[in-house]
Amino acid sequence: MIVSGIPYDDPTPHPPFTTPLPPTSSSTSTSTSGSASASTSPLGSTSTSVPASTSRPSPARFAACYAALAESGVTAIASIHLSAEMSGTVDSARAAARDAPIPVEVIDSRSIGMGLGYPVLAAARAAAAGAPLETVTSAARRCAMSTRTYFYVDTLDNLRRSGRIGAAARLLGSALMIKPLLHIVDGQISLLEKVRTATRAIARLEDLAVQAAGDGPVDLAVQHLAARPRAEALAERLRKRLPALADLQVVEVGPVIGVHVGPGMLGLTITPHTS
């Protein structure tokens, strides 16, 4: 069994790779690949002369990855990817899956970042325990449905330019006067609330995480771009406010997500904890 996940369109033209999980009775690993047509810095910023753009991996790259895994002895693949509302990655994976030499189940996570990462981890745990493909994909879908993502950006300009802004587009006229709180709904980025200052926006982000967590055990990821001190301070406050917190991570988003959200972004992804 293989669990593969592409968290976002990849800015570097490298071949697919796999990272083995702990040995089990079945063959299990995580696979990532992608491509892009832009020059980006580690913070997701672009040069002054070349606008950043991203592109989905081609069906041929997926086909090559699936074929290589089949040749290595893998008997089934759970292929989990970012929202089809934001990228054509799922379409490429499905096109390749139709002609794959082994069963491939392609799953649209309807999210990005750790909103995709948690379903991939849930599927990987099931696969590592020797579960069949149906059980592995069910674990991923259950996790995706119960995972919530909220985030704050200093400006909507990057999202507007990249076309990822969805229902939040009505804010563009006042983007310089407000600090938008956004969330992912039905696979799209949508406006949640308008807040006047960055301090109030981050405080509200914290409250939203507490509300979403409820009383049960949860895993939480604080995601940021070029804002680690701010992210770590938010994580520390949440650690104190969530007594049932099972796992807390502070991670910086990759350069391609950075292109779309811009420096200063803070995001929270909450999912029910499963052992």
| pLDDT at residue 210, as a whole number | 96
State how beta strands 188-195 and 218-224 pair.
unpaired
Could you state, in chain order, the average pLDDT of each consecutive group of 10 residues for the chain (275 residues)? 55 33 35 36 44 82 97 96 92 97 97 95 96 97 96 77 56 60 90 88 95 94 95 97 96 80 91 87
Helix boundaries (H) for 43-113: 59-71, 89-97
Q: Are 38 and 51 in contact (CB under 8 A)?
A: yes
| pLDDT at residue 177, as a whole number | 64
pLDDT tens, position by position, 244-272: 999 999 999 987 677 778 888 999 999 99
Read off the amino acid at residue 268.
Answer: L
Please give the helix or strand (H or E) that residue 223 lies within, else none.
Answer: strand 218-224
Q: Are 102 and 75 in contact (CB under 8 A)?
A: yes
Give the distance, in angstroms, between the CA of residue 115 and the centroid of all CA atoms in the same chain: 5
| pLDDT at residue 174, as a whole number | 52
| pLDDT at residue 195, as a whole number | 86
Return the SS3 of 51: coil
The two tokens of residue 85 are 């509302």
Please give the helix or strand (H or E) that residue 103 lies within, else none.
Answer: none
Q: Are 254 and 52 in contact (CB under 8 A)?
A: no
Q: Are 46 and 259 in contact (CB under 8 A)?
A: yes
Name the packing angle between helices 114-128 and 133-146 (round to 10°). Answer: 150
Question: Reading across the β-sheet that carries 245-252, which strands appear in turn?
Answer: 188-195, 179-185, 148-152, 266-272, 218-224, 245-252
Please give the helix or strand (H or E) that residue 120 lies within, else none.
Answer: helix 114-128
